């Protein structure tokens, strides 16, 4: 009998799992895949982006609230979830940028910080891992550190000479970067809104795009998961301090999203199995080999 398929998604903060690849995870859960989200930090220094919750009592209990929000999102997505236990670095602002807080995630030694993730990889034994690219998806210090730690753990988890005290070695077969937004996706949603006679929330994004590289050419894998976009949005709304339910992310009607861009997109960054590109399945090349693991 083929081995149970397992997917691990490594994210920087609670809420990242619901805004990046959530519909893909929900689809695989529905197919019977075991999915584990690893959350590197507690999100303690994140902003409260829901004006209804920007209150002193919320800020006073923000760490506990973020954990409760993560638990609610986990239940909606049907996933497992584990905390690595690092402290949020915050997003520094200003010119020059202020120093990062002492002891925060982004200032950890990569080899040391990768240890807890190596342990989880050896315990959960994922066939596929998703994380952020070298820019962190966007340049938040915790997202960049999440990339570094994910890459280090992916390379070390299967090596019996690395971290020998952290369990029996296990080599994941594939690693992907989330590609949340490409110019093609933004254009499709923008043009869909205009064609429907609606005001597009992406006008300003497109005006700024000339100053940003387009990650669309990096996409190798498009997972059709439009059916699970409502689950994604429900999970995102569960992070009530992190998202305004009347805000930007919910301005495009669901049926338009599903029609204009029905996939979540990824870049295959590492693979130890054969899988011709482009792909439509994160487990392409894995399903055929998992029974031998």
DSSP string, 29-40: HHTT-EEEEEEE
Instruction: Identify the residue with better confidence: 32 or 137.
Output: 32
Rounded to whole angstroms, what are the CA distances from 196 to 182, 206, 250, 257?
Answer: 21, 18, 16, 12
The reported pLDDT for the residue numbered 291 is: 58
Give per-residue pLDDT as tens, 149-202. Answer: 999 999 999 999 999 999 999 999 999 999 998 999 999 999 999 999 999 999
CA atoms of 36 and 21, how far apart (whole Å): 13
pLDDT at 96 (0 to 100): 86
For residue range 205-237, what is the model confidence (pLDDT) as tens digits? 888 877 778 999 999 999 999 999 999 999 999
Which one has a higher pLDDT value, 255 or 210? 255
Give binding residues for Zn(2+) as ranges: 13, 16, 143
pLDDT > 70: percent of the chain? 98
The values of phi and psi at residue 272, to 5°, are -115, 15
In angstroms, rounded to a whole number, what is the distance separating the alpha carbons of residues 243 and 253?
Answer: 17
pLDDT of residue 292: 54
pLDDT tops 50 at residue 83: yes
Backbone angles phi, psi at 109, to 5 degrees: -70, 130
Q: How far is residue 28's CA from residue 36's CA, in Å, rounded to a whole number?
A: 11
pLDDT level of residue 1 (50, 70, 90 thresholds):
very low
What pLDDT is stored for residue 272 in this prediction?
A: 96
Mean pLDDT of 116-142: 95
Strand partners, 21: none
What's the mean pLDDT in 91-108? 91
Higher pLDDT, 205 or 18: 18
Kindly report the number of other CB atoms within 10 A of residue 196's CB atom: 13
Binding-site residues, in ranges, read 13, 16, 143
**HSE of 81, CA atoms in CB hemisphere, 13 A:** 29
In the chain, % of residues over pLDDT 90? 84
């Amino acid at each position: 009998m083929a081995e149970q398929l397992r997917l691990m998604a490594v994210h920087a903060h609670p809420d990242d799992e619901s805004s990046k690849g959530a519909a893909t995870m929900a689809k695989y859960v529905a197919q019977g895949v075991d999915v584990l989200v690893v959350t590197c930090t507690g999100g303690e220094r994140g902003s409260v982006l829901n004006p209804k919750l920007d209150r002193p009592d919320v800020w006073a209990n923000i760490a506990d609230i973020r954990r409760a929000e993560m638990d609610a999102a986990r239940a909606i997505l049907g996933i497992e979830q584990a905390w690595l236990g690092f402290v949020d670095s915050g997003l520094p602002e200003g010119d020059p940028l202020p120093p990062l807080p002492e002891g925060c995630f982004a200032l950890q030694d990569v080899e040391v910080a990768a240890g807890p993730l190596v342990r989880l990889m050896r315990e959960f034994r994922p066939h596929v891992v998703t994380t952020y690219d070298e820019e962190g998806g966007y340049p938040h210090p915790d997202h960049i550190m999440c990339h570094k730690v994910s890459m280090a753990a992916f390379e070390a988890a299967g090596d019996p000479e690395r971290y020998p005290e952290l369990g029996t070695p296990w080599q994941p077969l594939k690693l992907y970067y989330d590609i949340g937004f490409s110019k093609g996706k933004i254009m499709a949603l923008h043009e869909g809104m205009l064609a429907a006679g609606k005001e597009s929330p992406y006008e300003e994004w497109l005006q700024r795009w000339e100053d940003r590289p387009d990650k669309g050419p990096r996409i190798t894998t498009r997972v059709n998961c439009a059916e699970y976009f409502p689950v994604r949005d429900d999970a995102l709304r569960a992070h009530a301090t992190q998202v305004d339910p009347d805000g930007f992310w919910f301005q495009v009607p669901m049926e338009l999203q599903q029609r204009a861009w029905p996939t979540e997109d990824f870049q295959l960054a590492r693979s130890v199995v054969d899988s011709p590109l482009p792909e439509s399945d994160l487990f392409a090349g894995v399903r055929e080999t998992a029974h031998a693991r």
